[in-house]
Structure 1
């Protein structure tokens, strides 16, 4: 499922893996992976499940944070 949600992937020395944050879904919405690609795949799977679950339960989806060039106009 295609979505425009933010996926932040960062290496964690403490966890010795890539940690993924999905900020539009709340501060505690995370996943991880041993490789960058695994972390991205896991993030996409979690996003699909979050979207599917929200739609099945009649809950509104959070608005995606999107990049706008107008924000950076000087």
Structure 2
């Protein structure tokens, strides 16, 4: 399990729960339930990190605190 903040919300447009990982640019998943979205976000985080490492891009450490979004 990763320690990145995951924000989950319902999207009327997508008709599903969306899980965003703000510390990892573009890392987003979805699911029919909140738990599905969270599980899919964990998989998306793994893929994001694997891809970053493959291309030699930096992988940010989790901040470990609530992010402030505007």
User: TM-score normalised by the shorter chain: which range applies?
Assistant: 0.7 to 0.9
Where does structure 1 differ by over 3 angstroms across 4 or more consecutive aligned residues?
none
Q: If the length of structure 1 is used for normalisation, what is the TM-score?
A: 0.73
2:17 aligns with 18
The structure with the larger Rg is 1
Unaligned 5+ residue runs, structure 1?
69-74
2:48 aligns with 50
Q: 1:64 aligns with which of 49, 62, 65?
A: 62
More deviation, 54-63/31-40: 54-63
RMSD: 1.8
Aligned length: 66
Following superposition, the deviation at residue 65 of structure 1 comes to: 2.5
Unaligned 5+ residue runs, structure 2?
none
Q: If the length of structure 2 is used for normalisation, what is the TM-score?
A: 0.77
